[in-house]
Amino acid sequence: MRRPESIAGECSVLDGIAQVRSVSRFDRRLGLGVGFGAIVAAAVVFALWRPRAAADLNDARRIEAGALVYARHCASCHGDNLQGQPDWTKRLANGRMPAPPHDDSGHTWHHPSAILFGITKKGLKPPYAPPDYQSDMPAFGPVLSDDDIWNALAFIRSRWSAAVRAKHDALERQ
């Protein structure tokens, strides 16, 4: 028995709607899968990019190694005694800021170690400074290993007073 033409036409329209719904569900699943994959990829990149947790910054060997790193790579700007450049809070003629002190008189200890690590490794650029910020602070990532950077930070920390170290430790726990 043949179907009347009108019924056959309705079936093909209904079949088309079913196919569209099927594709729409597939597209949604695909979109969710791609979105989830992008989130996972971003998390992996963040986990690999962010600095490792510092080893013991009170370790005498780390501090000793850090003294050498600091002398070779940091002291020329931040001073042999971590004193920074003169008038470090006032802009230079070129609009840039002088190198700040890393001793108790500076603001280094106001920042968590992970931020200090990031600034040292990546330089003063986003996310550590505004996009258009100009600085003489280079990125040391191409020059120093992560351990070298942590060692330099351990050395700097070792030169702070007990009161400043206690304040920095409290900041780290937040």
Q: How many angstroms separate the CA atoms of 96 and 129, rounded?
A: 13
Q: Classify residue 24 by its DSSP letter.
A: H
Confidence of residue 48 (pLDDT cuts 50, 70, 90): very low
pLDDT at 6: 46
pLDDT at 76: 97
Distances (CA, A) of 121 to 87, 132, 152: 25, 19, 11
Of 26-30, 40-44, 110-114, the poorest mean pLDDT is in 40-44
Q: Which residues form the domain of 132?
A: 60-173
User: Number of structural domains, the chain?
Assistant: 2
Regarding whether 156 and 76 lie in a shared domain, the answer is: yes
> For 54-78, how does the pLDDT look when each residue is reduced to its tens digit (9 = 90+)?
568 899 999 999 999 999 999 999 9
For residue 59, give the nearest of 173, 153, 161 by alpha carbon: 153
Regarding whether 42 and 15 lie in a shared domain, the answer is: yes
91-94: Cβ within 8 A, 24+ apart: 94/134
Regarding whether 149 and 117 lie in a shared domain, the answer is: yes
Regarding whether 110 and 168 lie in a shared domain, the answer is: yes
Q: Kindly tell me if the per-residue pLDDT of 153 is higher than 90.
A: yes
On average, the pLDDT of the chain sits at 81
Residue 78 belongs to some domain of the structure: yes
Which CATH number belongs to the domain containing residue 160 in this structure? 1.10.760.10
Amino acid at 126: P
Residue 54 belongs to some domain of the structure: no
> For 113-148, how does the pLDDT look when each residue is reduced to its tens digit (9 = 90+)?
999 999 999 999 999 999 999 999 999 999 999 999
